[in-house]
Amino acid sequence: MAEQAVVEKMSEMQVDEKKKGGTEGGKDGGKKKAKNAAGQSAGRAELTPAPEYIDKRLSLYTKLKAEHDALMAERAAKDSRAIKVTLPDGKVVDAESWKTTPYQVACGISQGLADNTVIAKVNNGVWDLDRPLEEDCSLQLLKFDDEEAQAVYWHSSAHILGEAMENVYGGCLCYGPPHRERLLLRHVLGEHC
């Protein structure tokens, strides 16, 4: 898309002052910028209207999440059984399949461990902290000092940054896995989303 077309497309989108928290009056051209708890400017607000694909994506996510939650509830009701979770030190913890999560196991050890765990590994595979365990397994709880935990953290952070860019600048995130040395997000503005 040509630069002029991008500028025209962006001019169609207006910043919603209500979301931003701005008010009339004051020395700053009639607008008072929103402040955060530290008294700093809250920055840019989301675009209004939001890009069309965001509603479509959110609708699809909501539908798939409801289906997933229903499946998890069904499995917890029908397939739950006692399982054994083996920790790296050899200790074995009792748990329930389709109900107990790695986070709950971490809380059972110590709240500090739970608070500092970034990701779990179940049978040597990366596993979300809130995903229920399914069977007898080995469990590792990885903190930020672990390279795999850092990779998960940076990958998740890239998704959050991508969402912010889409909502603030109206572009479409098309590529953006984080790399060891840098974070690269390719963004397309305009009709190519």
As a residue count, the chain comes to: 193
**What is d(CA 164, CA 151) in angstroms, rounded to the nearest whole number?**
20
Structural domain harbouring 123: 80-143
This prediction has a pTM of: 0.70
pLDDT digits over 92-145, tens only? 999 999 999 999 999 999 999 999 999 999 999 999 999 999 999 999 999 999
Give per-residue pLDDT as tens, 22-70.
Answer: 444 444 444 444 555 555 456 677 778 777 788 898 999 999 999 999 9
118 shares a domain with 160: no
- 168 within a domain of the structure (yes/no): yes
Q: Considering the domain boundaries, does residue 115 fall inside one?
A: yes
pLDDT at residue 97, as a whole number: 98
Q: Do 94 and 119 have their domain in common?
A: yes
Are 94 and 111 part of one and the same domain? yes
With respect to residue 91, please indicate whether it lies within any of the assigned structural domains.
Answer: yes
Q: How far is CA 31 from the centre of its chain?
A: 32
